[in-house]
Amino acid sequence: MYLIDSICISVRDTFVKNFPIFDIYNSVSKKNMTVKRVLIIEDDTAIANLVEIHVKDLDCTVEKVADGVEGLKKALSGKHDLIILDLMLPGMSGLDVCKEIRAVNRTIPILMLTARSEEFDRVLGLELGADDYLTKPFGVRELVARVKAIFRRIDIAKQDLKKNDAKELRIGKLSIDPQKRRVILNSEKLELTAKEFDLLYLFMKNQGRAYSRQELLDVVWGYQFDGYDHTVNSHINRLRAKIETDPSKPKYILTVWGVGYRFAEQEEIASNHA
């Protein structure tokens, strides 16, 4: 697949060079995107080069690292808008790199590259804070679609912060500030992962609305993860453990049987705290 992709790249670039008016792919993409900085942590040179070519097509600057330890150092520099992270790396595994990044930076998007036989690790990677994943071997169109989806979420989040509705929300003894990415419960600051924060903000902003697990995957992760409903369940369970007095008897995030989850209405919260 990678060889075919490389041949297609060569044919496309030759065609565009001779007929620049047909460079629709780049002109449309670059017109609406600001330059993003991408870090690729991948020890397979062929894959790293392929990813680099197509990420650069999206008007991005790229830095490549082939080692987990060095990749972590680069990732913690705070100079990137997206990290594309291979799961199997020399020096330090992709899972450990992801975990260390999330311990310091809870917002930078991470796109994880995995093999088909690594389903458990793939799910674990999502639960550790990866925003998306690609299964090898992957196609160029899928790679570009995933990266674009992540960049759209970045841009939308920035736009939301500029709007008046991106204000601090207070419900019961719980408050969330989207500008500062801060959650306070009973006057104490809570440490949430990026996805836990996004889930909580979605629930609190749409108090009372029931969301299916697939809807939560679509809205919060920004891409469909068919068959990974348990990823939502894991995030909900960890979020409940942080905001509920008794996670087995939640007062804030309620289960809607046969549907999914919703945030309790004001009256329900008031009665529970009475």
Instruction: State how far the Cα of 26 lies from the Cα of 29, in Å rounded to an integer.
Output: 5
- CATH number, position 260: 1.10.10.10
Count other Cβ atoms within 10 Å, centred on residue 124: 17
Same domain, 195 and 141: no
In this structure, are 51 and 114 located in the same domain?
A: yes
Query: Total structural domains in the chain?
Result: 2
User: What is the pTM (predicted TM-score) of this model?
Assistant: 0.67
Of the candidates 141, 65, 137, the residue with the CA atom closest to the CA atom of residue 101: 65
| For the chain, the helix, strand and coil percentages under 3-state DSSP, each to the nearest 5 | 50, 20, 30
- Identify the domain boundary among 161, 181, 201: 161
Same domain, 227 and 154: no
66 with 154, same domain?
Answer: yes
- Give yes or no: residues 104 and 150 share one domain: yes
Question: Which residues have C-beta within 8 Å of that of residue 150, sequence separation ≥ 6?
Answer: 82, 109, 111, 131, 132, 222
| Same domain assignment for residues 36 and 172 | no
Is residue 126 located within the same domain as residue 183?
no
Beta bridge partners of 60: 36
Print the domain residue range for 10.
Answer: 2-161
As a whole number of angstroms, the distance between CA 274 and CA 270 comes to: 6
- How far apart CA 207 and CA 201 sit, in angstroms, is 10
CA gap 86, 48 in Å, rounded: 10
DSSP 73-127: HHHTTS--SEEEEESS-SSS-HHHHHHHHHHH-SSS-EEEEEETT-HHHHHHHHH
pLDDT (0 to 100) of residue 124:
78
- On whether both 7 and 123 belong to a single domain, the answer is yes
CA distances to 132, 204, 236 from 263, rounded to whole Å, are 25, 6, 11
pLDDT in tens, the chain (274 residues): 554 454 444 445 444 445 444 443 444 444 445 789 999 999 999 999 999 999 999 989 999 999 999 999 999 987 899 999 999 999 999 999 999 998 888 788 899 998 866 667 777 777 777 888 888 888 888 899 889 888 887 777 667 666 655 678 999 899 999 888 899 999 999 988 878 888 999 999 999 999 998 888 878 876 555 556 677 888 899 899 999 999 999 999 999 999 999 999 988 888 776 5
SS3 assignment, position 184: strand
Domain boundary among 103, 135, 161: 161
Q: Is residue 153 domain-shared with residue 182, that is, in the same domain?
A: no
Chain-centre distance for alpha carbon 51:
18
Cβ atoms within 10 A of the Cβ of 200, count? Answer: 23
Pair (256, 170) in one structural domain: yes
The answer to whether residues 148 and 198 belong to one domain is no
The answer, yes or no, to whether the previous bond of 137 is cis (omega within 30 of 0) is yes
Q: What is the CATH number of the domain that holds 109?
A: 3.40.50.2300
Q: Is 185 helix (H, G, I), strand (E, B) or coil?
A: strand
Query: Which of 161, 180, 211 is where one domain is finished?
Result: 161
Specify whether 254 is located in the same domain as 125: no
Longest dimension (CA), the chain: 74
Check residue 138 and give its pLDDT: 87
Write the single-letter amino acid at 85.
L
Contacts of 214 (CB under 8 A, 6+ apart): 224, 229
